Structure 1
Amino acid sequence: MSKPTELAVWTVRSTQRGSDHYGACEVCGKECSEHFVATKRRVWVRDDGQHYLDGGISGGTFGHMHCLIQRFGNLVSQDSLQRDGNVLLFPQWAVDNLVGGHGGKLGMAHGQTADNYVAWQEQQLLAARDS
């Protein structure tokens, strides 16, 4: 049996499609060569202590990566999370960051600054997509 926690995170993934399919960015209204979708997800915990993310509180917001980060803050790449079937597992260190009040740094690499976060996150998503 699983229980919801009080925690929620924003995940992001590439749609691998642009404005030709999804229309304009929902944040800035400009065209996108590649849309990303950010989704707010609740964190759940299983009886064995494993944390995972639900399917999403919202249907998601589509747009440029930098626009989504500007609107929602740091995002967790869905491609960086392990799966158990269709379920996205959420690592303990990430739960600890949220509980410890470090949610603003969730998803950033060690020693990374906000100035280079957007470029780093886009690079991670593109690398995961191309692998």
Structure 2
Amino acid sequence: YISLDWTPAGEKKEGLIRYFPAGIVAGIAPFNFPLNLAVHKIAPAIAAGCPVILKPSSTTPLSTLLLAEIIDETDLPKGAVSILPMDRETGNILVTDPRFALLSFTGSPEVGWKMKAAAGKKKVVLELGGNAGLIVTKSADISDA
């Protein structure tokens, strides 16, 4: 319950907030931080009560598959987390299949925006690459930096 007294019409009233899982989450993780970025997709899905299917990078699947073995030893329901190495063509099904409620992708902007365009009505979370650029002015003290 939450107090609604933040508005005059809600004085001495309470509201009920209910959360519902969004649905099945499709996650696609890159090669550069395979375990860390896999967990960035799996943990929020678990916390929200959503089953998740994760496609790890085809070049670095082993650490993520070890994570699957560890998750399998927990009390999570079987099938709540599925880590499925697959080729890019099969992975595209995660993007386009309407049975997925949410797509979470980490990778290049070029690929991410194409996935968003192909995802249909599902929610899409993109973590796209960058180079963390900055501007250094003439007055900057490089030795102090």
Smaller-chain TM-score range? under 0.3
User: Which structure has greater strand proportion?
Assistant: 1
Q: Which has the higher contact order (CA 8 A, sep 6+)?
A: 1
> What's the TM-score, normalizing by structure 1?
0.28
State the structure with more CA Rg.
Answer: 2
